[in-house]
């Protein structure tokens, strides 16, 4: 589904990703682990299509299509979803209105009919209950005054609503207490499906106790330096990033 | 034209951002009189045509009495006709009073709300015609006026001065939706004359092309425990110019007064301009005053977030602009008038990013 080859990305003229290779198949959950500054967030942003992330070399193929050629909204409509590390607050737009606009925009882009307000409300309510997203949160301005946990739960609610084919979770665990983490992980696990791939980006091994990946890749200095099964997380926990990076060199 | 009736030039500080002489050219406002009319007159509202002889006492008592600027002095001297309206003591008018200014030249209007009267006023400034309107509003004790002024986009020079005086506990809530003109200026000269009087002003401007919109307010807290709030939001694209000048004066002895003033502008193009100038003069003790102004661009993080969720760029920009304007729009108490302004905002936004 996702095939990244020799990807080089510069941000503000500075090289951040320096020859990254990664292949993720449908039905799989891959984890990207790495120390701060290794390029994890750059990878997530370049996949979602944020401006200012310049691909200087290499390619990103998504279901055989050149992902880099598409604007962010088309990537979303084609099933790419990025659960953001820092969801933005938008005063003046209610959460429910935002969800409706986004869902219908994606449907329009795919040539599907728009859902009416009542249909969306019913769908959202059902999925929101499972993630403990309250009715009040849906009525409030998007992410405004939400706690860290509420913001992350809303990201997962969007993932459940949009039903993406490739979900990228950027540091979804950061700043969450154990209960919030468990809730988020349950939400994510509930969305594992044969037709869906997930890329879980995290600094901490802890998240992978709850979302068990098929593969783990260690990102350091803009490149994948080590790969393995879920046991690699334990090795990282025991040895630390420095040792793993050194072993790989 | 005598010297006393000369129109202001840009050298006059309050007209620095609105070059009236240049916009008008040699013709000035002309010598004709513009028109002001009301739609269906709601029961309980009394009307007097200022062209008629034998002005009643209430017109004589108030017409031409409020402080005005230089332009207002010109309209007072030159306008023929115009209308005066009165809501008598204690009358609460349920229907909206619709007031339309149209035509070319000078025009005057007077509105008097007597003690305890209540009214919702919808004012519309017609797009055709170079026009100078002078509007005096007198609010008696405990009177309440909700006022929504809509001026759709025009290519003429359109100026209005609204002078108001508020007696004890009177409340004035007003919204100014201004979509620009060759030169558009609405100026409010408000005196909170009686204790506990309140003026709550809000407004939105959505400008495109090379249009100009100036909202200038002067609020004088002349008595104690008076309140004024102002919230003006402006969106400018193309080569448009948005102006807000707000001067709040808290007079000596107006203790316990409270004033808040916010003006924000969103510039959608590098050639658009916003001039925001909040000013505060305090001569009293024990007052709460705050003011702020900010000019910015659409937030890149928010735009990316919406697009990453599948919302196309143009729609995402519109959503964020609506969000920016929202708090100024929710201040419009009357639902129908609020929706009318929202509709005008949506149409104007289509022009901005076209």
User: Predicted ipTM?
Assistant: 0.95
pLDDT at B353: 64
Q: What's the rounded Cα separation, in Å, for the pair B343 and B346?
A: 5
Collapsed DSSP state (helix, strand, coil) of residue A34 = coil
Name chain B contacts of A50, Cβ cutoff 8 Å. Answer: 304, 308
Q: What's the rounded Cα separation, in Å, for the pair B190 and B148?
A: 16
Using the beta-carbon criterion (under 8 Å), do B326 and A50 form an inter-chain contact? no
Report the gap between the CA of A163 and the closest CA in chain B (Å). 12
Using the beta-carbon criterion (under 8 Å), do B308 and A109 form an inter-chain contact? no
Number of domains in chain A: 1
Does A90 lie at the interface with B, CB-CB under 8 angstroms?
A: yes
Q: Which domain holds residue A165?
A: 2-248
pLDDT at B354 over 50: no
Using the beta-carbon criterion (under 8 Å), do A49 and B312 form an inter-chain contact? no
Candidates B301, B310, B325; nearest CB to A105: B310
Using the beta-carbon criterion (under 8 Å), do A92 and B301 form an inter-chain contact? no
Residues A215-234 have a mean pLDDT of: 92
| Distances, alpha carbon A134 to alpha carbons A67, A127, A157, A179, in Å | 35, 11, 11, 16
Among A38-47, B69-78, B198-207, the minimum mean pLDDT is found in B69-78
pLDDT at B87: 98
Candidates B311, B319, B327; nearest CB to A73: B311
For B151-179, what is each residue's pLDDT tens digit? 999 999 999 999 999 999 999 999 999 99
With a CB-CB cutoff of 8 Å, which residues 267-306 of chain B face chain A?
A: 299-302, 304-306
For A27-65, what is each residue's pLDDT tens digit? 999 999 998 889 999 999 999 999 999 999 999 999 999
Interface probe, candidates B310, B311, B326, B330, chain A, greatest A C-beta count within 10 A? B310
Query: How large a percentage of chain A has pLDDT more than 70?
Result: 100
Summary mean pLDDT of chain A: 93
pTM for this structure? Answer: 0.89
Does B326 lie at the interface with A, CB-CB under 8 angstroms?
A: yes
pLDDT at B61 over 70: yes
Q: Please state whether beta strands B198-207 and B171-178 pair in parallel, antiparallel, or not at all (unpaired).
A: parallel
pLDDT at B124 over 90: yes
Nearest to B307, CA basis, from A191, A96, A81: A81
Using the beta-carbon criterion (under 8 Å), do B309 and A51 form an inter-chain contact? no
Joined together, the tokens standing for residue A94 give 């209610």
The length of chain A in residues reads 249
Query: How large a percentage of chain B has pLDDT more than 90?
Result: 82
Q: What's the rounded Cα separation, in Å, for the pair B232 and B4?
A: 32
Using the beta-carbon criterion (under 8 Å), do A102 and B311 form an inter-chain contact? yes
Using the beta-carbon criterion (under 8 Å), do A92 and B299 form an inter-chain contact? no
For B205-254, what is each residue's pLDDT tens digit? 999 999 999 999 999 999 999 999 999 999 999 999 999 999 999 999 99
pLDDT at B3: 43
User: Using 50, 70 and 90 to split pLDDT, how confident is the model at B292?
Assistant: confident
Does A35 lie at the interface with B, CB-CB under 8 angstroms?
A: no
Domain CATH for A159: 3.40.50.300
* Angle, alpha carbons B313-B317-B320 (nearest 5°): 140
Using the beta-carbon criterion (under 8 Å), do A73 and B325 form an inter-chain contact? no
């Amino acid at each position: 589904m996702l095939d990244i080859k020799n990807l080089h990305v510069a941000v503000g003229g500075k090289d951040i990703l320096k020859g990254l290779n990664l292949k993720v198949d449908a039905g799989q959950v891959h984890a990207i682990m790495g120390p701060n500054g290794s390029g994890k967030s750059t990878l997530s942003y370049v996949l979602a299509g944020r401006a200012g992330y310049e691909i200087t070399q290499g390619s990103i193929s998504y279901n055989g299509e050149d992902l880099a050629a598409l604007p962010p909204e088309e990537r979303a409509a084609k099933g790419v979803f990025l659960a953001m590390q820092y969801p933005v607050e938008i005063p003046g737009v209610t959460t429910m209105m935002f969800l409706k606009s986004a869902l219908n925009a994606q449907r329009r882009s795919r040539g599907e009919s728009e859902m009416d307000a009542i249909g969306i409300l019913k769908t959202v309510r059902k999925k929101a209950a499972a993630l403990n997203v309250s009715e009040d949160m849906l009525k409030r301005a998007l992410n405004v005054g939400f706690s860290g946990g509420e913001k992350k739960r809303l990201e997962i609610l969007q993932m459940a609503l949009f039903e993406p084919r490739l979900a990228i979770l950027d540091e979804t665990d950061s700043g969450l207490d154990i209960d919030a983490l468990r809730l988020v992980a349950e939400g994510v696990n509930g969305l594992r499906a044969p037709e869906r791939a997930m890329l879980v980006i995290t600094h901490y091994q802890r998240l992978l106790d709850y979302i068990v990946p098929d593969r783990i890749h260690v990102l350091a200095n803009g490149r994948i330096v080590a790969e393995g099964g879920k046991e690699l997380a334990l090795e990282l926990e025991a040895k630390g990033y420095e040792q793993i990076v050194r072993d790989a060199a | 034209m005598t010297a006393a009736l000369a129109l202001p030039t840009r050298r006059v500080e309050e007209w620095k951002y609105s070059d009236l002489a240049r916009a008008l050219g040699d013709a000035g406002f002309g010598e004709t009189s513009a028109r002001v009319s009301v739609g269906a007159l709601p029961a309980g509202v009394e009307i007097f045509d200022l062209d008629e002889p034998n002005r009643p006492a209430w017109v004589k008592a108030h017409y031409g009495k409020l402080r005005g600027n230089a332009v207002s002095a010109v309209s007072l001297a030159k306008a023929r006709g115009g209308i005066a309206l009165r809501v008598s003591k204690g009358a609460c008018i349920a229907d909206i009073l619709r007031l339309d200014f149209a035509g070319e030249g000078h025009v005057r209007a007077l509105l008097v709300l007597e003690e305890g009267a209540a009214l919702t006023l919808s004012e519309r400034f017609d797009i055709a015609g170079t026009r100078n309107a002078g509007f005096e509003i007198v609010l008696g004790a405990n009177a309440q006026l909700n006022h929504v002024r809509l001026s759709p986009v025009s290519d003429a020079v359109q100026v209005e001065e609204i002078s108001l005086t508020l007696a004890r506990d009177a409340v004035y809530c007003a919204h100014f939706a201004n979509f620009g003109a060759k030169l558009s200026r609405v100026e409010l000269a408000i005196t909170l004359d009686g204790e506990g009087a309140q003026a709550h002003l809000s407004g939105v401007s959505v400008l495109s092309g090379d249009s100009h919109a100036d909202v200038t307010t002067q609020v004088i807290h002349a008595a104690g425990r008076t309140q004024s709030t102002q919230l003006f939001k402006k969106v400018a694209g193309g080569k448009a110019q948005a102006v807000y000048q707000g001067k709040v004066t808290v007079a000596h002895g107006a203790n316990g007064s409270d004033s808040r003033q916010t003006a924000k502008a969103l510039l959608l193009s590098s050639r658009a301009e916003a001039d925001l100038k909040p000013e505060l003069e305090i001569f009293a003790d024990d007052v709460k005053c705050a003011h702020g102004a900010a000019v910015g661009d659409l937030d890149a993080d928010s735009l990316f977030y919406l697009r990453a969720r599948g919302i196309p760029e143009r729609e995402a920009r519109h959503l964020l602009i609506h969000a920016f304007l929202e708090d100024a729009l929710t201040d419009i108490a009357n639902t129908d008038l609020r929706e009318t302004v929202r509709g005008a905002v949506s149409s104007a936004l289509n022009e901005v990013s076209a």
